[in-house]
Amino acid sequence: MDYYKITINFIPFEKWLSDVLISQLGEIGFESFVETETGFEAFVPVHQFNEESLNLILNTFEQNFKFSIEKEIIKSQNWNEVWEKNYFKPLVISGECVIRAPFHTDFPKAKYEIIIEPNMAFGTGNHETTSMMVETILEENLENKNVLDMGCGTGILGFLASMKGAKKITAIDIDEWSFKGTLENSALNKIDNIEVKMGDASLLGNEKYDVIFANIHKNVLLNDMQTYFNVLQPNGILIMSGFYSEDIPDIKLTANNLGLKDKGIKTKNNWVATTFSKVK
């Protein structure tokens, strides 16, 4: 899958401006962001790119703030090289989990070691949503649990669940690169209790899960939360991320109306991860 990349540099740089623009780009399909010293880089699948919507947002910003913008198409076959050179460094989360690529030779040791072949699926742990999801999973008891990972990306969350003793993991993603990447990465990590599927929540049938991970865009979470609730076991937990602090009321309202109880929340640079439990 090819991606459209835009690079924004603010003059002068203001962190809050960067956060606001990232939030608005997330609403029109941009999926991943890499912060820089003067702004950020944003990525959207070519088939999701809407230039009219982008220009509308940027034109509004140009009326009040000064920034430069660069646009380019990134071919999918270039991503391993791009990540190796620019983005993907060994990462330790909560002192317990190290995430690295196969080409890393010098990396910290930790209780859980996850190897990821980087590509445009994202989910190397560097993004706030992935790191908060990992932090939350590290706090949970997953021994002998049946786990569902929706929007699995590179497979990190499911792999960690397996390493923490989960009985079975079902990993689902709508993106073909994510589907293939999770299969490849599961072999790298010797994970043999994972089933990987390509698709969305419509694939979920009658199987029940003790724990559900969903690190996806807010609109998808709101649309699919009823389905997650239906396949979640009583006393099961739903861990969600992929949205911003200003989206918390919408997420909580939908969850609470379904009968899900607030269990915990994490925030990092305006991104949020929330945990809900299904009360009997």
CATH code where residue 23 lies: 3.30.70.120
Length of the chain: 280
d(CA 125, CA 39): 20
Whether 64 and 171 share a structural domain: no
pLDDT digits (tens, 9 = 90+) for 8-26: 999 888 777 887 888 889 8
- CA-based nearest residue to 66, from 109, 115, 9, 107: 9
Residue 230 lies in a domain: yes
H-helix or E-strand spanning residue 93: strand 91-93
- pLDDT mean across residues, the chain: 89
Both 67 and 193 in a single domain? Answer: no
The whole domain housing 272 covers 136-278
Please compute the mean of the pLDDT values over residues 250-276 and round it to a whole number.
Answer: 96
Average pLDDT score over residue span 157-176: 95
- Name the residue with higher pLDDT: 21 or 148: 148
| % of the chain residues with pLDDT over 70 | 92
243 part of a folded domain? yes
Residue 27 identity: E
What value does the mean pLDDT take over residues 61-90? Answer: 75
- Best CA proximity match to 244, nearest among 217, 270, 214, 273: 270
What average pLDDT does the segment 66-88 reach?
Answer: 72
Domain count, the chain: 2
- Clarify whether residues 244 and 160 are in a common domain: yes
Residue 280 pLDDT > 80? no
Q: Report yes or no on 123 lying in a domain.
A: no
- CA-closest candidate to residue 250, choices 86, 27, 10, 98: 27
Per-residue pLDDT, averaged over 218-244, amounts to 95
Cα 237 to Cα 146: distance, rounded to the nearest angstrom: 11
Q: Examine the pLDDT at 122 and tell me if it is beyond 70.
A: no
94 domain-assigned: no
pLDDT value of position 121: 44
